[in-house]
Protein backbone atom coordinates (compact mmCIF):
# COMPACT_ATOMS: atom_id res chain seq x y z
CA UNK A 1 0.00 0.00 0.00
CA UNK A 2 1.54 3.23 -1.07
CA UNK A 3 1.65 6.15 1.36
CA UNK A 4 3.49 8.99 -0.25
CA UNK A 5 4.64 10.13 -3.70
CA UNK A 6 8.37 10.29 -4.34
CA UNK A 7 8.14 13.11 -6.89
CA UNK A 8 6.33 16.45 -7.07
CA UNK A 9 4.49 15.57 -10.27
CA UNK A 10 3.65 12.40 -12.21
CA UNK A 11 3.15 13.18 -15.89
CA UNK A 12 1.92 9.83 -17.26
CA UNK A 13 -1.35 8.31 -16.02
CA UNK A 14 -4.41 6.61 -17.46
CA UNK A 15 -8.05 6.78 -16.35
CA UNK A 16 -11.35 5.12 -17.22
CA UNK A 17 -11.46 7.40 -20.27
CA UNK A 18 -9.08 4.81 -21.76
CA UNK A 19 -7.82 1.70 -19.99
CA UNK A 20 -7.19 2.85 -16.43
CA UNK A 21 -9.25 1.65 -13.48
CA UNK A 22 -9.80 4.98 -11.71
CA UNK A 23 -12.05 7.74 -13.02
CA UNK A 24 -10.31 11.07 -13.69
CA UNK A 25 -11.70 12.49 -10.41
CA UNK A 26 -10.57 9.41 -8.45
CA UNK A 27 -7.11 9.66 -9.99
CA UNK A 28 -6.74 13.34 -9.07
CA UNK A 29 -7.99 12.61 -5.56
CA UNK A 30 -5.42 9.82 -5.13
CA UNK A 31 -2.70 12.15 -6.41
CA UNK A 32 -3.71 14.78 -3.85
CA UNK A 33 -3.79 12.20 -1.05
CA UNK A 34 -0.27 11.08 -1.95
CA UNK A 35 0.95 14.66 -1.76
CA UNK A 36 1.57 15.24 -5.45
CA UNK A 37 1.60 18.89 -6.51
CA UNK A 38 0.75 18.16 -10.10
CA UNK A 39 -0.42 15.47 -12.45
CA UNK A 40 -0.45 14.80 -16.17
CA UNK A 41 -3.34 12.75 -17.48
CA UNK A 42 -2.46 10.91 -20.68
CA UNK A 43 -5.19 8.58 -21.84
CA UNK A 44 -4.73 6.60 -25.06
CA UNK A 45 -6.13 8.45 -28.10
CA UNK A 46 -8.71 10.46 -26.13
CA UNK A 47 -9.11 13.72 -24.22
CA UNK A 48 -12.50 12.80 -22.77
CA UNK A 49 -11.12 12.61 -19.23
CA UNK A 50 -9.94 16.21 -19.23
CA UNK A 51 -13.06 18.03 -18.00
CA UNK A 52 -13.60 15.83 -14.98
CA UNK A 53 -9.88 15.92 -14.17
CA UNK A 54 -9.82 19.72 -14.40
CA UNK A 55 -12.72 20.09 -11.99
CA UNK A 56 -11.14 17.72 -9.51
CA UNK A 57 -7.73 19.41 -9.87
CA UNK A 58 -9.31 22.79 -9.07
CA UNK A 59 -10.98 21.26 -6.01
CA UNK A 60 -7.76 19.68 -4.70
CA UNK A 61 -5.58 22.64 -5.78
CA UNK A 62 -3.41 20.41 -7.92
CA UNK A 63 -1.71 21.55 -11.12
CA UNK A 64 -3.01 19.59 -14.08
CA UNK A 65 -1.32 18.92 -17.38
CA UNK A 66 -3.87 17.86 -19.96
CA UNK A 67 -2.32 15.18 -22.12
CA UNK A 68 -2.82 12.28 -24.42
CA UNK A 69 -0.79 9.21 -25.44
CA UNK A 70 -0.71 8.22 -29.12
CA UNK A 71 0.71 4.85 -30.14
CA UNK A 72 2.52 5.00 -33.43
CA UNK A 73 4.43 2.49 -35.51
CA UNK A 74 8.09 2.80 -36.51
CA UNK A 75 9.53 -0.15 -38.44
CA UNK A 76 7.26 -2.54 -36.57
CA UNK A 77 8.12 -1.09 -33.16
CA UNK A 78 5.56 0.63 -30.97
CA UNK A 79 6.50 4.26 -30.43
CA UNK A 80 4.31 6.08 -27.95
CA UNK A 81 4.09 9.85 -28.21
CA UNK A 82 2.74 11.91 -25.33
CA UNK A 83 1.11 15.22 -26.17
CA UNK A 84 0.54 17.87 -23.51
CA UNK A 85 -1.74 20.89 -23.35
CA UNK A 86 -3.36 20.47 -26.73
CA UNK A 87 -6.11 22.86 -27.75
CA UNK A 88 -9.31 20.95 -27.00
CA UNK A 89 -11.36 23.31 -29.17
CA UNK A 90 -9.39 22.38 -32.31
CA UNK A 91 -11.67 20.81 -34.93
CA UNK A 92 -8.62 19.24 -36.51
CA UNK A 93 -7.86 17.46 -33.23
CA UNK A 94 -11.48 16.38 -32.76
CA UNK A 95 -11.56 14.90 -36.28
CA UNK A 96 -8.32 13.01 -35.80
CA UNK A 97 -9.36 11.61 -32.43
CA UNK A 98 -12.76 10.58 -33.81
CA UNK A 99 -10.99 8.64 -36.56
CA UNK A 100 -8.75 6.88 -34.05
CA UNK A 101 -11.77 5.99 -31.88
CA UNK A 102 -13.66 4.58 -34.86
CA UNK A 103 -10.65 2.51 -35.90
CA UNK A 104 -10.50 1.05 -32.37
CA UNK A 105 -14.21 0.20 -32.53
CA UNK A 106 -13.79 -1.63 -35.86
CA UNK A 107 -10.80 -3.49 -34.54
CA UNK A 108 -12.71 -4.59 -31.45
CA UNK A 109 -15.39 -6.15 -33.68
CA UNK A 110 -12.69 -8.03 -35.61
CA UNK A 111 -11.19 -9.30 -32.37
CA UNK A 112 -14.64 -10.53 -31.24
CA UNK A 113 -15.00 -12.39 -34.51
CA UNK A 114 -11.64 -14.05 -34.07
CA UNK A 115 -12.50 -14.96 -30.50
CA UNK A 116 -15.69 -16.64 -31.73
CA UNK A 117 -13.51 -18.73 -34.06
CA UNK A 118 -11.77 -19.88 -30.87
CA UNK A 119 -15.12 -20.85 -29.29
CA UNK A 120 -14.98 -17.77 -27.09
CA UNK A 121 -18.23 -15.87 -27.10
CA UNK A 122 -18.02 -12.36 -25.70
CA UNK A 123 -20.52 -9.63 -26.48
CA UNK A 124 -19.80 -6.00 -27.21
CA UNK A 125 -21.87 -5.10 -24.12
CA UNK A 126 -19.61 -7.21 -21.91
CA UNK A 127 -16.65 -5.14 -23.11
CA UNK A 128 -18.52 -1.84 -22.87
CA UNK A 129 -18.85 -2.44 -19.15
CA UNK A 130 -15.07 -1.93 -18.91
CA UNK A 131 -14.60 0.54 -21.78
CA UNK A 132 -16.60 3.61 -20.93
CA UNK A 133 -14.88 5.93 -23.36
CA UNK A 134 -14.30 5.53 -27.07
CA UNK A 135 -10.75 4.33 -26.60
CA UNK A 136 -11.49 0.61 -26.54
CA UNK A 137 -8.41 -1.54 -26.12
CA UNK A 138 -7.35 -5.07 -25.50
CA UNK A 139 -7.19 -4.60 -21.70
CA UNK A 140 -10.99 -4.06 -21.75
CA UNK A 141 -11.51 -7.22 -23.77
CA UNK A 142 -9.22 -9.09 -21.37
CA UNK A 143 -11.30 -7.90 -18.42
CA UNK A 144 -14.48 -9.17 -20.07
CA UNK A 145 -12.78 -12.51 -20.81
CA UNK A 146 -11.83 -12.74 -17.16
CA UNK A 147 -15.35 -11.95 -15.98
CA UNK A 148 -16.75 -14.70 -18.20
CA UNK A 149 -14.22 -17.18 -16.83
CA UNK A 150 -12.22 -17.74 -20.01
CA UNK A 151 -8.97 -16.63 -18.37
CA UNK A 152 -7.67 -16.10 -14.83
CA UNK A 153 -5.81 -12.85 -15.29
CA UNK A 154 -5.11 -10.14 -17.86
CA UNK A 155 -1.68 -11.56 -18.64
CA UNK A 156 -3.23 -14.91 -19.60
CA UNK A 157 -5.66 -13.04 -21.85
CA UNK A 158 -2.77 -11.56 -23.81
CA UNK A 159 -0.87 -14.83 -23.96
CA UNK A 160 -3.77 -17.04 -25.01
CA UNK A 161 -5.83 -14.68 -27.16
CA UNK A 162 -4.96 -11.02 -27.57
CA UNK A 163 -1.20 -10.56 -27.73
CA UNK A 164 0.96 -10.46 -30.86
CA UNK A 165 1.03 -13.96 -32.36
CA UNK A 166 -2.04 -15.12 -30.41
CA UNK A 167 -5.11 -16.31 -32.38
CA UNK A 168 -7.34 -13.29 -31.76
CA UNK A 169 -4.61 -10.68 -32.26
CA UNK A 170 -5.61 -7.86 -34.57
CA UNK A 171 -3.17 -4.99 -35.11
CA UNK A 172 -4.47 -1.53 -34.53
CA UNK A 173 -4.40 1.32 -37.02
CA UNK A 174 -1.37 3.41 -36.17
CA UNK A 175 0.11 6.70 -37.26
CA UNK A 176 3.83 7.06 -37.88
CA UNK A 177 5.76 8.87 -35.13
CA UNK A 178 6.11 11.90 -37.42
CA UNK A 179 2.34 11.96 -38.00
CA UNK A 180 1.74 11.70 -34.25
CA UNK A 181 4.11 14.60 -33.60
CA UNK A 182 2.47 16.63 -36.36
CA UNK A 183 -1.01 15.97 -34.98
CA UNK A 184 0.06 17.23 -31.53
CA UNK A 185 1.82 20.27 -32.94
CA UNK A 186 -1.10 21.24 -35.17
CA UNK A 187 -3.30 21.07 -32.07
CA UNK A 188 -0.82 23.43 -30.31
CA UNK A 189 0.44 20.79 -27.90
CA UNK A 190 3.90 19.72 -26.75
CA UNK A 191 5.06 16.32 -28.12
CA UNK A 192 7.18 14.10 -25.87
CA UNK A 193 8.60 10.66 -26.62
CA UNK A 194 7.16 8.18 -24.09
CA UNK A 195 9.22 5.44 -22.36
CA UNK A 196 11.81 4.99 -25.18
CA UNK A 197 13.69 2.43 -23.09
CA UNK A 198 10.87 -0.09 -23.52
CA UNK A 199 11.57 -0.37 -27.24
CA UNK A 200 15.14 0.95 -27.62
CA UNK A 201 14.33 3.88 -29.84
CA UNK A 202 17.48 5.99 -29.80
CA UNK A 203 18.07 5.66 -33.55
CA UNK A 204 14.73 7.25 -34.38
CA UNK A 205 15.23 10.27 -32.17
CA UNK A 206 17.11 12.60 -34.60
CA UNK A 207 14.28 12.44 -37.17
CA UNK A 208 11.64 13.00 -34.51
CA UNK A 209 13.51 16.01 -33.14
CA UNK A 210 13.53 17.31 -36.70
CA UNK A 211 9.75 16.74 -36.80
CA UNK A 212 9.27 18.84 -33.67
CA UNK A 213 9.69 16.57 -30.67
CA UNK A 214 10.12 18.68 -27.51
CA UNK A 215 10.87 16.18 -24.79
CA UNK A 216 11.81 12.66 -23.74
CA UNK A 217 10.22 10.70 -20.91
CA UNK A 218 13.36 9.79 -18.98
CA UNK A 219 11.79 8.54 -15.75
CA UNK A 220 9.25 5.73 -16.21
CA UNK A 221 8.14 2.63 -14.31
CA UNK A 222 9.60 0.32 -16.96
CA UNK A 223 12.93 2.15 -17.34
CA UNK A 224 16.01 0.55 -15.90
CA UNK A 225 18.87 2.63 -14.51
CA UNK A 226 20.76 2.35 -17.85
CA UNK A 227 17.70 3.66 -19.71
CA UNK A 228 17.51 6.68 -17.44
CA UNK A 229 21.21 7.43 -18.01
CA UNK A 230 20.99 6.90 -21.78
CA UNK A 231 17.87 8.97 -22.41
CA UNK A 232 18.90 11.72 -20.02
CA UNK A 233 22.10 12.12 -22.04
CA UNK A 234 20.12 12.17 -25.30
CA UNK A 235 17.68 14.75 -23.92
CA UNK A 236 20.64 16.94 -22.95
CA UNK A 237 22.28 16.43 -26.33
CA UNK A 238 19.18 17.51 -28.27
CA UNK A 239 18.21 20.16 -25.72
CA UNK A 240 14.87 18.47 -24.98
CA UNK A 241 12.75 18.55 -21.85
CA UNK A 242 13.19 15.59 -19.51
CA UNK A 243 9.84 14.38 -18.33
CA UNK A 244 8.74 11.47 -16.18
CA UNK A 245 5.78 9.52 -14.96
CA UNK A 246 4.60 6.17 -13.67
CA UNK A 247 2.23 5.11 -16.49
CA UNK A 248 -0.25 4.39 -13.70
CA UNK A 249 -3.33 2.40 -14.81
CA UNK A 250 -4.63 1.35 -11.37
CA UNK A 251 -4.08 -1.93 -9.50
CA UNK A 252 -6.70 -3.82 -11.52
CA UNK A 253 -5.12 -2.96 -14.87
CA UNK A 254 -1.39 -2.72 -14.19
CA UNK A 255 -0.56 -4.12 -10.77
CA UNK A 256 2.51 -2.83 -8.94
CA UNK A 257 2.83 0.51 -10.75
CA UNK A 258 2.32 3.17 -8.09
CA UNK A 259 1.24 6.71 -8.76
CA UNK A 260 3.96 9.30 -8.05
CA UNK A 261 6.74 6.75 -7.70
CA UNK A 262 8.16 7.95 -11.01
CA UNK A 263 7.99 11.58 -12.03
CA UNK A 264 9.74 14.93 -12.11
CA UNK A 265 9.70 18.29 -10.36
CA UNK A 266 6.88 20.82 -10.62
CA UNK A 267 9.22 23.03 -12.64
CA UNK A 268 8.98 20.62 -15.61
CA UNK A 269 5.18 20.79 -15.59
CA UNK A 270 5.42 24.57 -15.66
CA UNK A 271 7.96 24.52 -18.49
CA UNK A 272 5.63 22.37 -20.58
CA UNK A 273 2.75 24.78 -19.93
CA UNK A 274 4.94 27.72 -20.98
CA UNK A 275 6.06 25.93 -24.13
CA UNK A 276 2.44 25.18 -25.04
CA UNK A 277 1.48 28.84 -24.57
CA UNK A 278 4.14 29.91 -27.06
CA UNK A 279 2.76 27.49 -29.69
Residues that bind ligand AMP (CB under 6 A): 19, 44, 137-139, 154-155, 158, 163, 172
96 binds, among ligand AMP, Zn ion, Fe ion, none (CB under 5 to 8 A by kind): none
Q: What is the Cα 180 distance to its own chain's centre?
A: 13
Residue 146 CA to residue 143 CA, distance in Å, equals 5
Per CB under 5 A, 172 contacts Fe ion: no
- The residues in 11-40 that bind Zn ion, with binding defined as CB under 5 A, are 14, 19
- The residues in 234-253 that bind Fe ion, with binding defined as CB under 5 A, are 247
User: Which residue's CB is nearer to Zn ion, number 37 or number 254?
Assistant: 254
67 and 83 in contact (C-beta within 8 Å)? yes
Contact track, Zn ion, 93-122, x by CB under 5 A: ------------------------------
**Binding residue (CB under 5 A) for Fe ion from 37, 48, 66, 80:** 80
Report helix, strand or coil for 144: helix
Report helix, strand or coil for 250: coil
CA distances to 79, 147, 164, 251, 259 from 151, in Å: 29, 8, 17, 18, 27
User: What DSSP assignment string belongs to 86-125?
Assistant: --TT-HHHHHHHHHHHHHHHHHHHHHHHHHHHTT----HH
Least Å distance between CB 140 and ligand AMP? 8
Residue 274 CA to residue 272 CA, distance in Å, equals 5
User: Which residue's CB is nearer to Fe ion, number 85 or number 135?
Assistant: 135
User: Which residue's CB is nearer to Fe ion, number 154 or number 194?
Assistant: 194
User: Which residue's CB is nearer to ligand AMP, number 130 or number 158?
Assistant: 158
Least Å distance between CB 80 and Zn ion? 9
50 binds, among Zn ion, Fe ion, ligand AMP, none (CB under 5 to 8 A by kind): none
* DSSP H or E stretch at residue 9: strand 9-13
Residue 215 dihedral angles phi and psi, to the nearest 5°: -160, 165
80 binds, among Fe ion, Zn ion, ligand AMP, none (CB under 5 to 8 A by kind): Fe ion
Binding site for Fe ion (CB under 5 A): 69, 80, 194, 247
Amino acid sequence: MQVVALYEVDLHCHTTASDGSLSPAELVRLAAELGLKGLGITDHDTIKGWNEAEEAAAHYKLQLLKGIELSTDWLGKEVHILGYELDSSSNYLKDKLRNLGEARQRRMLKILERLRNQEVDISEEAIRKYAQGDSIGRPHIAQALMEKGYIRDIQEGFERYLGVGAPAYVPRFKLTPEEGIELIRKAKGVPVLAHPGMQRLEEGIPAWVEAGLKGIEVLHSEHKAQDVTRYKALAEHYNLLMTGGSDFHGEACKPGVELGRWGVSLRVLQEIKELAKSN
